Amino acid sequence: MINSDFERLDAATLAAYSAIPATIVADVAGRRGALDARVRSMAPGLSAVGTAFTVEVRPGDNLMIHAALMLARPGDILVVDGKADTTSALMGELMCAHAAAAGIAAVVIDGMVRDSATLREGRFPVFAAGVNANGPTRTQGGRIGYPVSVGGVSAAAGDLVVCDDDGVVIVPRQDAAGLLKAAQAKIAAEARRLNDIQEGRLLYGWLEGALKTAGELPPEDTIPGLIKRFQS
């Protein structure tokens, strides 16, 4: 089954997210959307932002990934539901070279890859659940352009995908543009906090209230008072 009827993110939104780390995106998206840590970068230091081009395959079979390589547009990110199968690789050096030549921005696959030494030395971002030397079959049907589950996260064709050394984050397409201001504000807030730390202002403004709400600090007490007792 192949579905081409989905809307991609606009170029301006993708360009804006290219400067935003995955951690920030996950935070402003409600601390959700990050794939399980088993899906990780095969080559540290590489990152990508793009529109999800979803692929679902049968365990150990990569027929639909071959089709996706021909159908995806430049800038898309292949998001492959490989069923977290560990018994054989679904992609390797040749298919990743094909993806790069086709202008695909990255591959995210909840499954195995191989030719890992070559992938580590390359400049094409590949995020996978691990490595296995076995090759796949390419005889079983699957789905392209339909919702998938990767790393415990639901992804639909057209969603935002942000990948870097901290992992892969999926944001529903309809939410992506609306989260940009929050992401940029979060970056600014973290920069201010880092400056405070460097200048010796270490007390978080929210900490005292949070401790009192949790019942760990009496209502009449304060953080400075607690610090004084500990240091006296």
pLDDT at 168: 98
| Domains in the chain: ranges and CATH | 11-179 (3.50.30.40), 183-231 (no CATH)
Tell me how far apart the alpha carbons of residues 85 and 76 are, in angstroms, rounded to a whole number. 24
Task: State residue 143 phi and psi, 5-degree precision.
Answer: -140, 145
- At 38 the pLDDT is 96
What is residue 204's predicted lDDT score, i.e. its pLDDT?
85
CA distances from 29 to 89, 112, 169, 173, 212 (A): 32, 28, 9, 12, 27
Cα separations (Å) of 37 from 17, 115, 150, 151, 172? 21, 21, 11, 8, 20
> What's the confidence (pLDDT) of residue 232?
76
Taking the mean position of all CA atoms in its chain, how far away is CA 116? Answer: 20
Alpha helices in 29-148 (DSSP H): 63-71, 93-101, 116-121
Taking only the tens of pLDDT, the chain with its 232 residues reads: 999 999 999 999 999 999 999 999 999 999 999 999 999 999 999 999 999 999 999 999 999 999 999 999 999 999 999 999 999 999 999 999 999 999 999 999 999 999 999 999 999 999 999 999 999 999 999 999 999 999 999 999 999 999 999 999 999 999 999 999 999 999 999 999 999 999 999 888 899 999 999 999 999 999 998 888 888 7
Q: Give the C-alpha separation, 194 to 201, whole Å.
A: 10
